[in-house]
Amino acid sequence: MPEEKAKVINKSGTLKMTDKVAARKETRDISGRRMNRGGRRDRVRADVAPKEFDETTIHIYRVSRTVAGGRRMRFKALVAVGNHKNKIGVGVAKGNDVTSAVQKATSKAKKSMITFNMDNETICHETETKVTGAHVLMKPAAPGTGIIAGGVVRSIIGLTGVKNLISKSLGSTNKVNIAYAVVEGLREQIPRKEWTTKKSVKKEEKK
């Protein structure tokens, strides 16, 4: 058999060694001793571990600040982070560019994450929360209903395990306040077994 050539020409016209020739090639240091390659060609990349949390950039604001030299332009990012189960967080941060603003907001969202209660794939009960001017109403829904909600509420609920929900924003359209109102509504969820009614309260008072 003819001896295999040390170099071949690829489609781009540059020369390269074949894998077999490269595997047999010895690398030596200045003193002539053989250097161990460490099996780099046989190394298999480790599978990338799945991310524990997913993040969604809800909105990017362009904000300005008047200084002595004129206006200073910056960016403000609203980011939501969740694990598609019962953990959710919202963060807001500013930065000189979009990337830094998103990174800061994501870090804040992860630090402020909450764990809320669920009833299968919906919320435990109806809730109505207000944060400054924002007023958000959320109701549990039957299986198969889906998420009936506006943009901000849909983005946040999409990062949780809630699959059926009816929601309505009744107040301000400020996205930051709506996001905080949604998180507050999820925080207030009480599981069914811990519900108390007027009858049960009266019985406890009699005892």
CA distance 73 to 62: 7
Q: What is the pLDDT of residues 31-47, one digit of tens each?
A: 667 666 555 544 444 44
Closest by Cα among 126, 192, 186 to 158:
186
Does this model's pTM top 0.85?
no
- Burial (CB < 10 A; 0-12, 13-18, 19+), residue 19, is exposed
Q: Please, which residues bridge with residue 138 across strands? A: 127, 167
Contact status, residue 91 vs residue 79, Cβ threshold 8 Å:
yes
Q: Tokens 């002595």 label which residue?
A: 68
Q: What is the pLDDT of residues 138-175, one digit of tens each?
A: 999 999 999 999 889 999 999 999 999 999 999 899 99
Q: Which CATH number fits domain 54-192: 3.40.50.720, 3.30.230.10, 3.30.200.20, 3.30.930.10?
A: 3.30.230.10
